[in-house]
């Protein structure tokens, strides 16, 4: 194998290691208890197939800043729970009304709308609860509170929920570029930004490294969303795992729709380059974080 | 005026003082910003008419344990926000499907279902966020984390959301007494229990006082729910502020339905007596907390 292949397979091993750690924590934290249906519903979405990319970023950011992985695992899993929460509520009939997600029926299709609403609510409390109850005592209490503060802001109406609100009220409307930017930055970007930043905070990294990783997260989060919109146009069901063309059909404003496909691809490339540069400029040596950025760019540049 | 009247009017003044403090904090904490509709929707329910009984219990519990009111205000308001959250989601068409609440159209009737779901979600993040960001630095960081831990457990699927789940899956079914107890204890009881306990925790009260106030909260929370079910049978729209007979119509299992009206009234009296006793036995001298318990009993004993 050449060195590029070795590097690639090392990254693959790291992804699998992080995924195993994440799934094992989540499986235990969300173990079935009374009333069983709510835990089943929560587990159905949280533990469904998926790469666990956000928790992996938390864990790797902690590691690259010299922190202990075990100190970051609760926060990593909080991010994954919150991500699942946003999927469950976004798929509801009164929101995006989706029947399938990651190739399986959406939560409300299996458990009914009432339980799906409650499962999302449950995750909104379980996610910060994991940070509070399961972050090891070795982490300063001040740091735990700082992480919680950042997490709750990233989730709330000035973060993810704000982005989702702007998205909902923009449907079937001509969206201004700054509104689209707000939606992307908050609906997708904020959890990536938080993930990268939280790892650095847990590791008690310098303010410069915390800021650098936050920027890195922001760039790849934004790139991730634009790439998603591009693949909705250029991809097929096998490569993207869902039916393409949904945005056009639902008259959703997207980056490609506003700026064209070419400019969108250039923007993804530019954002991913910036993400990689910021790692290099701050001596954050992480093949995994670098390749995560590169992979996003690669996807939209594939024929 | 006789001394009983003076006492009564002092309690009234205290209630108004606490309500002013609570509303003033909430008004500022929830000030309008972009995207405006989500903040409007949140404010619509949180700042609607209401006695703010739960936050008053937090503040009074802190005071009676020798704590500062200003240290407890963020937690008090977190409880009120969470209470509003539960109303918004409970009223949704897929849950209890209510059109009116406290004499005004429910949140989704005004803002639509999607925004109502997001407003509830927003409150689930804003409530703990208030505790983290607005509890004064004078309160030990360890105490803030303890309060957060208790709060998130009281809210989650082992608390309020668990109670709501059990309630939903019990509809149109013969409910066992222990299931009804679980629903009451969690759906209504847990926030009262948390409110009384949290005030004591903030005041750094002794373990005995913390436990005594938690018990007090549990008793009145339970009494409050049974009283509500009794008044659904014996009350009229003027005294209870909503249409009576709803539980019978929706075939909902309630304490009176399971145990009869007489036994239900006796149970409320007994619970309120226990609540008053526990205050006395622990030297927790609070006219307000005592009268809150007595008022619940009085309501169901009125002709």
Taking only the tens place, the pLDDT of each residue in A107-125 is 999 999 999 999 999 999 9
pLDDT at res. B243: 63
pLDDT of A257 above 60:
yes
pLDDT at res. B172: 81
pLDDT at res. A7: 73
Q: Which of A133, A29, A79 is nearest to B151 (CA)?
A: A133
CB-based contact, B92 to chain A, within 8 Å: yes
* Alpha-carbon gap, residue B233 to B127, rounded angstroms: 34
State percent of chain A over pLDDT 90: 81
- Residue A67 covered by a domain: yes
- Residue A216 covered by a domain: yes
CB-based contact, A137 to chain B, within 8 Å: no
Give the range of the structural domain holding residue A23, as residue numbers without chain letter. Answer: 18-301
pLDDT of A303 above 60:
no
Q: How far is A183 from chain B (nearest CA, A)?
A: 10
> Which residues of chain A from 206 to 265 reach within 8 Å of chain B, CB to CB?
none
pLDDT at res. A254: 87
Rounded to an integer, the average pLDDT of A69-85 is 98
Taking only the tens place, the pLDDT of each residue in B225-242 is 999 999 988 876 666 656
pLDDT of B244 above 80:
no
Mean pLDDT (chain B) is 93
Poorest-confidence range of A226-235, B91-100, B112-121, B217-226?
A226-235
CB-based contact, A171 to chain B, within 8 Å: no
Taking only the tens place, the pLDDT of each residue in A146-186 is 999 999 999 999 999 999 999 999 988 889 999 999 999 99
Q: How far is A103 from chain B (nearest CA, A)?
A: 24
- Residue B164 covered by a domain: yes
pLDDT at res. A150: 98
* Alpha-carbon gap, residue B196 to B57, rounded angstroms: 6
* Alpha-carbon gap, residue A147 to A131, rounded angstroms: 8
Residue B105: helix, strand or coil by DSSP? strand
pLDDT at res. A22: 98
pLDDT of B78 above 60:
yes
- Residue B48 covered by a domain: yes
How many helices, marked H, and strands, marked E, lie in chain B?
16, 2
Cβ-Cβ pairs closer than 8 A, A with B, add up to 137
pLDDT at res. B21: 98
Nearest to B141 among A92, A126, A145 (CB): A145
Cα nearest neighbour of B89 on chain A: A117
Q: A47 pLDDT band (50/70/90 cuts)?
A: very high
Taking only the tens place, the pLDDT of each residue in A260-274 is 999 999 999 999 999
Only one residue has tokens 């009176």, namely B256
* Alpha-carbon gap, residue B171 to B180, rounded angstroms: 11
Nearest to A155 among B37, B112, B125 (CB): B125
Tokens of A288: 């995994």
Q: B124, B169, B171, B194: which to substitute to probe chain A, counting the most A Cβ within 10 Å?
A: B124
pLDDT of B101 above 90:
no
Poorest-confidence range of A25-34, A130-139, A251-260?
A251-260
* Alpha-carbon gap, residue A203 to A62, rounded angstroms: 5
Taking only the tens place, the pLDDT of each residue in B134-179 is 999 999 999 999 999 999 999 999 999 999 999 999 988 889 999 9
CB-based contact, B181 to chain A, within 8 Å: no
User: What is the total count of domains within chain B?
Assistant: 1
- Residue A12 covered by a domain: no
Only one residue has tokens 């939903």, namely B168
pLDDT at res. A172: 81
pLDDT of A58 above 70:
yes
pLDDT of B303 above 60:
no
**Which residues of A are less than 8 Å from B94 in CB distance?**
112-114, 117
pTM: 0.95
CB-based contact, A169 to chain B, within 8 Å: yes
- Residue B44 covered by a domain: yes
CB-based contact, B173 to chain A, within 8 Å: no
Nearest 5 degrees, angle CA A182-CA A183-CA A189? 90
* Cross-chain Cβ contact A129/B145 below 8 Å: no
Q: Are B69 and B63 in contact, with CB atoms under 8 Å apart?
A: yes
- Residue B3 covered by a domain: no
* Alpha-carbon gap, residue A196 to A215, rounded angstroms: 8
CATH number at residue B175: 1.10.600.10
Q: B36, B90, B94: which to substitute to probe chain A, counting the most A Cβ within 10 Å?
A: B94
- Residue B5 covered by a domain: no
* Alpha-carbon gap, residue A97 to A102, rounded angstroms: 15
CB-based contact, A182 to chain B, within 8 Å: yes
* Alpha-carbon gap, residue B43 to B263, rounded angstroms: 39
Residue A151: helix, strand or coil by DSSP? helix
Rounded to an integer, the average pLDDT of B39-51 is 96
Q: How far is B216 from chain A (nearest CA, A)?
A: 25
């Amino acid at each position: 194998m050449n060195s590029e292949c070795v590097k690639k397979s090392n990254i693959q091993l790291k992804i699998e290691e992080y995924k195993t750690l994440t799934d094992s924590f989540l499986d235990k934290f969300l173990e079935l208890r009374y009333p069983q249906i709510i835990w089943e519903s929560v587990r159905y979405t949280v533990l469904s197939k998926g790469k666990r990319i956000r928790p992996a970023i938390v864990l790797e950011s902690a590691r690259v800043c010299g922190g202990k992985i075990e100190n970051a695992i609760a926060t990593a899993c909080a991010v994954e729970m919150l991500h699942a929460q946003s999927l469950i509520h976004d798929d509801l009939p009164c929101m995006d009304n989706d029947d399938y997600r990651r190739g399986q029926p959406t939560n409300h299709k299996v458990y009914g709308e009432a339980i799906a609403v409650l499962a999302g609510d449950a995750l909104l409390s379980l996610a910060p609860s994991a940070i509070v109850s399961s972050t090891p005592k070795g982490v300063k209490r001040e740091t735990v509170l700082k992480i919680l503060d950042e997490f709750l802001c990233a989730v709330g109406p000035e973060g993810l929920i704000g982005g989702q609100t702007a998205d909902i009220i923009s449907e079937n409307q001509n969206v201004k570029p700054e509104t689209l930017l707000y939606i992307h930055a908050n609906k997708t970007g904020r959890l990536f930004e938080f993930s990268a930043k939280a790892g650095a905070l847990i590791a008690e990294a310098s303010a410069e490294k915390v800021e650098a990783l936050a920027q890195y997260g922001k760039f790849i989060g934004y790139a991730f969303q634009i790439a998603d919109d591009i693949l909705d146009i250029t991809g097929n069901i096998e490569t993207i795992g869902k039916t393409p063309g949904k945005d056009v059909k639902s008259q959703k404003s997207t980056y490609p729709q506003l700026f064209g496909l070419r400019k969108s691809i250039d923007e993804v490339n530019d954002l991913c380059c910036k993400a990689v540069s910021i790692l290099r400029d701050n001596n954050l040596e992480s093949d995994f974080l670098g390749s995560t950025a590169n992979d996003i760019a690669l996807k939209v540049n594939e024929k």
